[in-house]
Chain A
């Protein structure tokens, strides 16, 4: 076996790490896309709402010893939280103007994150991955660990599942119809409010899954663990086009790889600036996102 050039090894390592992080980003971006398609709104409370189920998963895993039980409970709690927030809070908010919804979401972020800090303290709680994080050695080059592979597979399965749901099932059809033409859908017998709630449930469950996958790669679980994930995923969702699941997937991977490369070659401090610059450029040059959206973003 020949020795690889260290520079190439490093590039491959950074790319593969970036892909794994990008998969989590893509999943979170997808959750933003789902809620946008269902309710025509960007949910600014997504990070806080995603981290609540992760705390539940953490508690369940600690109590039962089973990662999978924790994961399942996170999905259930995420879906419930989505339903509760949509039914009992956001329905009270005027819908034709995005502003009140965003402001209420910010209030919700404050309540949830500070509430978690009061309940669980500010400490980072270390969370361990269900699979080894040791990268595979391929021809002397470190690429993807089993855990990275797990993340990628989960992301692929979820994406595939949503593709089938949206394109091949009656529920998916109703979801899309309710979002794009609520009045017509209602006339045709679609229960629009129910579809909006379903969209929120799917979205928050997906976001919780993404946050759960992210936490073992970082410092640990704390109320703000998904904040940066949200900002990067928002950038990815916008770059991909807010109502394009394919766009979220591609842009999520791109942003993940970009952040990894910038961190590795420049510095950790440069990564948020790179994401901000990318977001600004895309918003100014191609505000519809790279994957055609139907709706102009300038009113």
Chain B
């Protein structure tokens, strides 16, 4: 008897204490609801979830810093429709449980207008339904998973990256175009990233034409067994659906085996400065000839690159310029363009309509392809190669459709109005 009573009472006390604490916290702040969430006369508040801590932070933390720097640049030049863009970056440590918490905080506490560039497939998948049910525009997700392209189910969700299938198809087609006898193999992450790349490669080559498909999981940090299997399979061209760390690991491990096949790497794992840092001075020569694709103006010869470098100096404390810088600033530009197109008094509906209108040009190597039926914007990717220690675009580009990858001319979006979208 005594035990029961004491337990019940202690539970009651515990519950009361917990509630009291929670209630006290709730007294903090509840901003008055605006007519359009996050939009006031002089400000638009948007939010994102990014891995700023944890193992994924090393590869991605610099993206949101670059985006924030671009928005500062826009704000310093008068903003969009006279409104400054306030960009709230929340850390989720690449853990879906944290993503769910911070995105709710952004939507309910900070009352953001939209979520922009939420990063990662497993993380962002966990808030997809929530954002849909709350009618929050979910713009330019930082992942190439086809999940974001379901306009019927998720009308407010748009992907940013070139999707993984597009990249895989272009990388494999380029292998065939440069060497008809290519023996193409795939090393992919054991999630939809690797699966999408494999699907693209099979789209280009035909089913069953991949000599061997190997996978790795981010939990284990050794790909020797996989590389050994690929070497023994006689692969000449390895298409990698890997993040930067594992690209470096694969290239480094193969070099240690004295094996130097052609590497064809997804844009998510082919950032030369990052790879060179991983491999160190002795390892870097193995990156010569590394083929990758990109859809953003990530080339020192581009005027966008020049502008972004200046913004990086001025508003980002001169952080090292990497592919992440181009990525983050391009996302910022694309959002600013959408906001400009959403009208003088933007609403959640009008910004989604603006993206779907197909009028956004973006700053990529080909015009954006967003439409009501297609929630991905980059269907064309351009081949980049590492030569003499520098990574730059070649002249070949591929447009990918359900039929496969077709070679096209790249058509770089021009830089106008000093990189600040015009509002008319």
- The answer to whether A and B belong to the same complex is yes
Q: Give residues in A with beta carbon < 8 Å to B.
A: 6, 9-10, 13-14, 17-18, 21, 117, 121-124, 126, 128, 132-135, 142, 145, 217-220, 222, 224-225, 228, 260, 263-264, 267-269, 271-272
Indicate whether A132 sits within 8 Å of B225 (C-beta atoms), given known contacts A10-B232, A122-B54: no
List B contacts of A10 (CB < 8 A). Answer: 228-229, 232-233
List B contacts of A18 (CB < 8 A). Answer: 225
- CB pair B57 A264 closer than 8 Å: no
Complex interface residues of chain B between 217 and 248 (CB less than 8 A to chain A): 217, 219-226, 228-229, 231-234, 245-246, 248
Tell me, yes or no, whether B215 is within 8 Å of chain A by CB: yes
List B contacts of A260 (CB < 8 A). Answer: 224-225
- CB pair A21 B55 closer than 8 Å: no
List A contacts of B249 (CB < 8 A). Answer: 218-219
List A contacts of B245 (CB < 8 A). Answer: 124, 219-220
- CB pair A6 B256 closer than 8 Å: no
- CB pair B225 A14 closer than 8 Å: yes
Q: Mark B367-409, 1 if CB is under 8 A from A, else 0.
A: 0000000000000000000000000000000000000000000
- CB pair B226 A126 closer than 8 Å: no
- Closest CB in chain B relative to A63 CB, distance in Å: 16
Partner of B217, one of A9, A142, A222, A268: A268
Tell me, yes or no, whether B18 is within 8 Å of chain A by CB: no
Known: A17-B225, A219-B249, A263-B220. 15 other contacts (CB 8 A): A6-B232, A9-B232, A122-B54, A123-B57, A124-B278, A126-B248, A126-B277, A126-B279, A133-B257, A135-B257, A218-B220, A218-B249, A219-B246, A220-B278, A268-B226
List B contacts of A218 (CB < 8 A). Answer: 220-222, 249
Complex interface residues of chain B between 257 and 284 (CB less than 8 A to chain A): 257-258, 277-280, 282
Q: What are 11 A-B interface contacts by the 8 Å CB criterion? A: A6-B234, A14-B225, A17-B225, A132-B256, A228-B220, A264-B226, A264-B229, A267-B215, A268-B190, A269-B190, A272-B220
- CB pair B282 A128 closer than 8 Å: yes
- CB pair B215 A122 closer than 8 Å: no
Indicate whether A224 sits within 8 Å of B55 (C-beta atoms), given known contacts A6-B232, A126-B280, A268-B190: yes
Tell me, yes or no, whether B149 is within 8 Å of chain A by CB: no
List A contacts of B15 (CB < 8 A). Answer: none
Q: Top 8 A-B pairs ranked by shortest CB distance?
A: A218-B221, A133-B256, A219-B221, A123-B58, A10-B232, A263-B225, A264-B225, A13-B228
* Chain B residue at minimal CB-CB distance from A271: B220
Interface size range of chain B in the complex: 35 or more
- Chain B CB count within 10 A is highest, among A6, A117, A219, A225, for A219
Partner of A134, one of B220, B248, B257: B257
Task: Describe B's contact surface by its main secondary structure.
Answer: helix
List B contacts of A126 (CB < 8 A). Answer: 248, 277-280
List A contacts of B220 (CB < 8 A). Answer: 218, 228, 263, 268, 271-272
Partner of B58, one of A124, A263, A267, A271: A124
- Closest CB in chain A relative to B121 CB, distance in Å: 16
Tell me, yes or no, whether B101 is within 8 Å of chain A by CB: no
List A contacts of B58 (CB < 8 A). Answer: 121-124
Tell me, yes or no, whether B53 is within 8 Å of chain A by CB: yes
- Closest CB in chain A relative to B70 CB, distance in Å: 24
Q: How far is the CA of A124 from the CA of B18 in the complex (A)?
A: 39
List B contacts of A128 (CB < 8 A). Answer: 280, 282
- CB pair A272 B226 closer than 8 Å: no
Partner of A124, one of B55, B233, B234: B55
- CB pair B257 A142 closer than 8 Å: yes
Partner of B258, one of A134, A219, A220: A134
List B contacts of A6 (CB < 8 A). Answer: 232-234
Q: How far is the CA of A151 from the CA of B419 in the complex (A)?
A: 55
Q: How far is the CA of A269 from the CA of B58 in the complex (A)?
A: 23
- Closest CB in chain A relative to B245 CB, distance in Å: 5
List B contacts of A220 (CB < 8 A). Answer: 221, 245, 278
- CB pair B226 A263 closer than 8 Å: yes
- Chain A CB count within 10 A is highest, among B53, B55, B221, B224, for B224
- Closest CB in chain A relative to B86 CB, distance in Å: 27
- Closest CB in chain A relative to B82 CB, distance in Å: 40
- Closest CB in chain B relative to A115 CB, distance in Å: 14
List B contacts of A124 (CB < 8 A). Answer: 55, 58, 245, 278
- CB pair B215 A269 closer than 8 Å: yes
Partner of A17, one of B217, B228, B282: B228
Partner of A228, one of B53, B55, B219, B223: B219
List B contacts of A13 (CB < 8 A). Answer: 228, 231-232
List B contacts of A21 (CB < 8 A). Answer: 222, 224
